Structure 1
Amino acid sequence: MDVFVCAGCGTELTAPVSRVALPVHTYYGAWEQLHPPLMEPATYAVDPRPTGPPWRPWKDVGAELAARQGVFAPVYSVSFGARNRIVIAPGDSRSMTLIPGKCEGYCRGVDGRAGPNLACEGCGRAVATRLDDCGMWQMVWLEPDAVVRRASGLPAVPPPDWDELGRPEHRVQPVEPDGSWSPRWEAAVGVALAHLVAVTGDRPVDLPAGPVAELLGHAVGLRLPAAPGARSLALAGPGLPPPRPRPDVLLVPRHPLTGASWCPPGDEGAVVPLDSGVWAYLAHPGETSPMPATGSLPEGVLRDDYPLPRRPWRPLAAHYHSFDDTLVRLPAVNAPRLRRYRDEYRQTYGGDADLA
């Protein structure tokens, strides 16, 4: 395990933490809602892309410079913030204090608009940014040039691997306790749909019957309406039998440690990565029936009188910003067909509205 210390004075700024993949929903929450921490306790992740302020308008940046920042299609503004910023849960931060005058926010918290808002208690150096405003997952971003990673001296925790996906606790439920769709699901669907549009070249897709079609059918239909010549898609990943024949596209999990897409051995066909917790629910939904009030049922017998799973008042849709932000960061968006596709849906749904 590692700790991060101040590059100026050596003060420890975090509890011992282990690296995991950056969550796909990091930047996409539900508007006007307070969210829990993004990261699990004792974990951290790194974003290799430039993030946060300063921001520069697209018209002042141009396509060539924007591409060097990882953006391949016009957007309102392009980040020129630091690369390789480190995100932790707020509860894992240590010896940092808020900087007066840099704690602005939109509504019920701070949103980091003025840059780093946390200073090292040892030397006063600005080292991190706390984010917890409505619509944001609670998190602390450490500035890469202000901290140094060191070994904590604690035994290393076994890194997460593909076998994590089969554990019940890894599955992310699609519906929140209040009956709304999970914002993590909405963001994950948006990211996956952007990859699906890119690999199919804006062509329709046939979804397999079962949880994939039931939960994702509405969102996919909005982005890729049914038409002749549809591409075939199937769920695939560790622990699942390989689909035969091989469909045009495989919906696969991201590795919980590296974020890399799972691929069948020796297979170079098209794959679409999906948040591993969302994938795990689709692949292993598990039994949802309650236990009998008294006594027990014979082994292998399930009750058939329990309520159906909760479904919110509207079908599951992709988070607009997770879809568009992912699509503009895929070089394939420069293809004429996909550029026309993006222009058309932005005109239809607007550049800043969520698609429901």
Structure 2
Amino acid sequence: MDVFVCAGCGTELTAPVSRVALPDHTHFGAWEQLHPPLMEPATYAVEPVSFTAGDSIVIAPGDSRDMVLIPEKCAGYCMGIDGRDGPNLACGGCGSAVATRTDDCGLWQAVWLEPDAVRRIPSGLPAVPTPDWDELDLEAYVVPPVELDGSWSFRWEAAVPVALAHLVVACEARPVALPGPLTDLLGDALAGYLPAGPTELTAHLAGPGMPAPRSGDDVLLVPRHPVTGEPWRPPHGTAAVAPLDVGVWAHFALPGETSPLPASGRVPEGVLRDDYPLPLRPWRSFTPHSTAFSRTLVRLPAIRRPGMRAYYDRVATWP
């Protein structure tokens, strides 16, 4: 595990944290809605940034230590701070600007450490080993698609279109049919994001714990490793893969809970009936985050291939 300290005075600015993959939904939130923390406790992620001294480091606000707000740099849109004025957190030891806190509407709560203002040092605690796929507790990563108030998960609304952008590239902009579970849940909301025309390819869910992909599968929707960020790869075969947020993938791939009621007959005497509640139903149709789709698509190197130019030109004007 690591600790980030002030590059100027050495003050510890974070709790011990371990590196994980940058979440797909990092920069994509719902407008005028408050969001939970982007990162899990005791974790950090790195985002490469061009033309700077280094990479941006993001942590959960609760893992920050000995930093104080800079009042004159705490502007925001309406509900919090959005970082528009630059770094708004100062080192408690020397007063140097070291990080930016964001928590305004539409933004995931986070603290972004300035790459040239901090240093990473060992915490003294044992390093957390990177688990293999068969060592992950995938059930712990499941993200339900619908929140308790009946709204769609913000994470789903961002992660699904990010995966669709990868899927378009994996299919080389040819029409593709989505797997049944994804189509059944999200309906026609995803149709406009896929190349139009007669279906030529079919995407299949695949990953650890699932039946081995067939040799003739066209393209596989697979989970991204929560620590390394790398997509799961089948042990055999050459099918293209499109990575999907592990929490969304796990919702489809893992078997759901089964009712505690007997399949037939009556509940035994002395046993209290405990029916499961009905599944949550959203109060509106699924709305993919269009910016998440378009910004992911144009950043994928394969979009520059000549055969994908027509598709790129059609979607380049999206928000």
TM exceeding 0.5: yes
Structure 2 residue aligned with 1:42: 42
Q: Which residue type is aligned with residue 283 of structure 2? A: W
1:287 Cα shift? 1.4
Q: Which residue type is aligned with residue 285 of structure 2? A: P
Do residues 212 (structure 1) and 182 (structure 2) align? yes
Question: Secondary structure of 1:4's match?
Answer: strand
Q: Distance in 2 between matches of 1:314 and 1:297?
A: 37
1:306 Cα shift? 5.4
Does the CA contact (< 8 Å) of 1:207 and 1:217 recur in 2?
A: no
Summarize deviations over 1:43-93 as a string: whole Å, max 9, x none: 111112x2xxxxxxxxxxxxxxxxxx5xxxxxxxxxx55641110000000
Do residues 31 (structure 1) and 61 (structure 2) align? no
1:200 Cα shift? 1.7
Tell me: CA distance 1:230–1:315, structure 2 relative to 1, closer, same or farther (3 Å). Answer: farther
Tell me: CA distance 1:271–1:224, structure 2 relative to 1, closer, same or farther (3 Å). Answer: same
Q: Distance in 1 between matches of 2:58 and 2:258?
A: 34
1:113 Cα shift? 1.3
Matched ranges for 1:14-29 at <5 A = 14-29=14-29
Question: Secondary structure of 1:328's match?
Answer: helix
Tell me: CA distance 1:319–1:287, structure 2 relative to 1, closer, same or farther (3 Å). Answer: same
Summarize deviations over 1:242-262 as a string: whole Å, max 9, x none: 132431100001011110111
One of 76, 79, 83 as aligned partner of 1:108: 79
Do residues 286 (structure 1) and 256 (structure 2) align? yes
Q: Distance in 2 between matches of 1:158 and 1:320?
A: 36
Q: Distance in 2 between matches of 1:176 and 1:337?
A: 40
Tell me: CA distance 1:228–1:180, structure 2 relative to 1, closer, same or farther (3 Å). Answer: same
Structure 2 residue aligned with 1:124: 95
One of 256, 261, 270 as aligned partner of 2:226: 256
Q: Distance in 1 between matches of 2:260 and 2:104?
A: 37
Q: Distance in 2 between matches of 1:182 and 1:170?
A: 14
Summarize deviations over 1:271-305 as a string: whole Å, max 9, x none: 0000111111110141164779xxx958xxxx9x8
After TM superposition, the score normalised by the length of structure 2 is 0.89
Do residues 142 (structure 1) and 116 (structure 2) align? no
Residue range with higher mean Cα deviation, 95-104 or 35-44: 95-104
Structure 2 residue aligned with 1:173: 144
1:241 Cα shift? 1.0
Q: Distance in 2 between matches of 1:308 and 1:81?
A: 51
Do residues 344 (structure 1) and 314 (structure 2) align? yes
Residue range with higher mean Cα deviation, 102-111 or 221-230: 221-230
Summarize deviations over 1:135-192 as a string: whole Å, max 9, x none: 1110001111111111111233343442365442210111011101101011110100
Structure 2 residue aligned with 1:265: 235
Do residues 154 (structure 1) and 125 (structure 2) align? yes
Does the CA contact (< 8 Å) of 2:294 and 2:316 recur in 1?
A: no
Q: Distance in 1 between matches of 2:32 and 2:258?
A: 31
Does the CA contact (< 8 Å) of 1:5 and 1:12 recur in 2?
A: yes
Q: How many residues align?
A: 312
* RMSD (Å), alpha carbons: 2.5
Tell me: CA distance 1:140–1:148, structure 2 relative to 1, closer, same or farther (3 Å). Answer: same
Residue range with higher mean Cα deviation, 334-343 or 230-239: 334-343
Tell me: CA distance 1:187–1:314, structure 2 relative to 1, closer, same or farther (3 Å). Answer: same
Q: Which residue type is aligned with residue 42 of structure 1? A: A
Q: Which residue type is aligned with residue 32 of structure 1? A: E
After TM superposition, the score normalised by the length of structure 1 is 0.80
User: Percent identity among equivalent residues?
Assistant: 67
Q: Which residue type is aligned with residue 37 of structure 1? A: P
